[in-house]
Amino acid sequence: MRKVTLEQLFLHPIAQKYLSRSGIAHAVTVAEHAAAYAQREGENMDFAAKAGLLHDIGHYTWYRDGEWDTALYRQNDIHAIKGATRAHKLLLQLGEHPANAKTVAIAILLHTDSYLPEGKLALNPLQRIVHEADEADEEPNGAHHYRKMTPSTALARIIALDHKVEANDRLNAQQTS
């Protein structure tokens, strides 16, 4: 049984602060994509949805003259590192099992290579799913971070996603018993 729901995460003041900074519409959409990909591949939907929701909570706003500066972002960004740390702490505060919090945090850490020197990492299935879900929602020049979604729509979509995760968990439990 899940200890922490997506709704609990989404409504937490720390999550709200950083999700608002990085784009709630993007976070919710990536969580939905990640959960769908995880379900299709037989991976943990709960971990994928949580990592998708929180994947950008480490973002700093890289602006120059009032415009997002992609070059500045690429040169200085460590949002995956900060986001993984924030997500890990938040999940633990809400009562998530430490091993699960670590799994989600590492998927967040590895969802992008923007902070890495040239080269590719070998990702496990969950980490690849979160990376692909993020890429599926990307728009040129970071525009995906500025799409709008009302708080009520975001919450409704998060609650619906919680229901999908719980239904999948029940189905998996029935199949293994």
Share of the chain above pLDDT 70, in %: 92
Two tokens, residue 139: 């728009």
Two tokens, residue 107: 């998927």
CA distance 41 to 123: 15
4 CB neighbour count, 10 Å cutoff = 21
Kindly tell me if the per-residue pLDDT of 62 is higher than 80. Answer: no
Domains and CATH numbers, the chain: 6-176 (1.10.3210)
Least reliable range by pLDDT among 39-48, 62-71, 123-132: 62-71
Of the candidates 33, 52, 67, 31, the residue with the CA atom closest to the CA atom of residue 112:
52
For residue range 89-128, what is the model confidence (pLDDT) as tens digits? Answer: 999 999 999 999 999 999 999 887 766 666 677 788 998 8
CA distance 89 to 123: 23
Give the global pTM: 0.85
Average pLDDT, the chain: 88
**What are the beta bridge partners of residue 68?**
63
Question: Which are the contacts of 24, defined by CB distance < 8 A and separation ≥ 6?
Answer: 149, 151, 154
